[in-house]
Amino acid sequence: MRHPLPPALAGLALLALTSCASPAANPAAASATGSAPPVGVVASTDVYGDIARQVGGDRVAVTSFVTDPAQDPHSYEAGTRDRLALSKARVVIENGGGYDDFVDTLLKAAGNGPAVLLNAVTISGRTAPPGEELNEHVWYDLPAMGRLADRISAALGTVDPAGAATYAAGAKAFRLRLRPLVDQEAALARTSGGAAVAVTEPVPLYMLRAAGLRNATPPAFSEAVEEGDDVSPSVLRETLALFGGGRVKALVYNEQTAGPETEQVRRAATDAGVPVVPVTETLPAGQDYIGWMTANLAALRTALGR
């Protein structure tokens, strides 16, 4: 598992500079308008930031750290405004599982002990299978995101009891929007017949397994790609061989962390007429979580001819 680079902490003294704060982060500024300030929420990526917005609505002000689909989340470094938002947050949402350890580092350095910290991996209940590493990409586990929405609602209701009913309604609405996608996964599982697919990284595996699909990728390939290591020639040959003779029905390709070996695999799939399903680790521009996962499932169904 590739761990994010620890962000530089030299600028933490700037947290005291309230001139950088927005009205959402500055209760005094918000109270000047005559309304209660929104609850400050910080999320490590815009995936969790979007779910928090759907739960909290206008009662929350969300700052998401990693927001660019072209950016490798593993190499993210927080800036001054990010640190400031984290120092004032009432609720903080991290992925956990080693994916975004910089959140814990920054939160501790900011001295924001009262913030409610939600760990998506812990909430998901996912653990590493025997002899394997944990797949920390739990945002592709749709039922887990429904549980996360409930936990966000509870955390917001704790720090803002007046909005508890609003948060509960937001979480319920999110889960209702999520339910058809879970049903679509189950429908795919009934018709896919355990078809084999290839992946460049384990990012989408929770969705693929829920859809009844089997990952045929050599573990050494996807592990090397995820860790940023070179793929050995023998493992690369083994992976490229998957695209001959109909051995796999699709290649699910993480286009957010592409490199020479993954590009070679993508070309091999395209040349062999194997459909390529692109996925990302953060939200595509203009999409919310539900729309994003809807598009991912639609692309998967198309690739499988379902």
Domain contains 158: yes
Model confidence band, residue 52 (pLDDT cutoffs 50, 70, 90): very high
Same domain for 210 and 271, yes or no, is yes
What pLDDT does residue 306 have?
77
Identify the domain containing residue 167 by its residue range: 10-178
What pLDDT does residue 257 have?
79
Same domain for 141 and 198, yes or no, is no
Which helix (H) or strand (E) element contains residue 29? helix 27-31
> Is the confidence at residue 29, as pLDDT, over 80?
no
Same domain for 26 and 159, yes or no, is yes
**What Rg, from alpha-carbon coordinates, does the chain have?**
21
Same domain for 170 and 202, yes or no, is no
Domain contains 208: yes
Same domain for 214 and 300, yes or no, is yes
Q: What is the pLDDT of residues 176-207, one digit of tens each?
A: 999 999 999 999 999 999 999 999 999 999 99
What pLDDT does residue 23 have?
37
> Is the confidence at residue 159, as pLDDT, over 50?
yes
Place of tokens 């490798």: 72
Region 75-84 average pLDDT? 81
Same domain for 51 and 131, yes or no, is yes
Least confident piece of the model among 35-49, 59-73, 207-221: 59-73
Domain contains 33: yes
Which residues are CB-contacts of 297 (< 8 A; sequence separation ≥ 6)? 181, 184, 185, 188, 207, 211
What pLDDT does residue 48 have?
98
The Cα–Cα gap between 143 and 135 comes to 16
Same domain for 197 and 139, yes or no, is no
Domain contains 2: no
Model confidence band, residue 148 (pLDDT cutoffs 50, 70, 90): very high
The Cα–Cα gap between 171 and 61 comes to 16
Same domain for 288 and 209, yes or no, is yes
Region 94-108 average pLDDT? 92
Q: Closest Cα partner for 174 from 155, 154, 156, 147? A: 147
Q: Closest Cα partner for 281 from 250, 248, 258? A: 258
Which residues are CB-contacts of 82 (< 8 A; sequence separation ≥ 6)? 42, 63, 65, 106
Higher-confidence residue of 211 and 29: namely 211
Cβ(43)–Cβ(152) under 8 Å? no
Least confident piece of the model among 115-119, 167-171, 255-259: 255-259
Domain contains 183: no
DSSP conformation letters of 193-236 = TT-EEEESSSTTHHHHHHTT-EE-S-HHHHHHHHHTPPPPHHHH
Same domain for 138 and 16, yes or no, is yes
Q: What is the pLDDT of residues 201-238, one digit of tens each?
A: 999 999 999 999 999 999 999 989 988 889 999 999 99
Q: What is the DSSP letter of 114?
A: T
Question: Which of the listed residues 155, 178, 201 is the one where a domain comes to its end?
Answer: 178
Q: Closest Cα partner for 89 from 28, 148, 43? A: 43
Query: How many domains does one find in the chain?
Result: 2
CATH code for the domain of 251: 3.40.50.1980
Out of 5-14, 123-132, 144-153, 249-258, give the one with best mean pLDDT. Answer: 144-153
Average pLDDT, the chain: 88
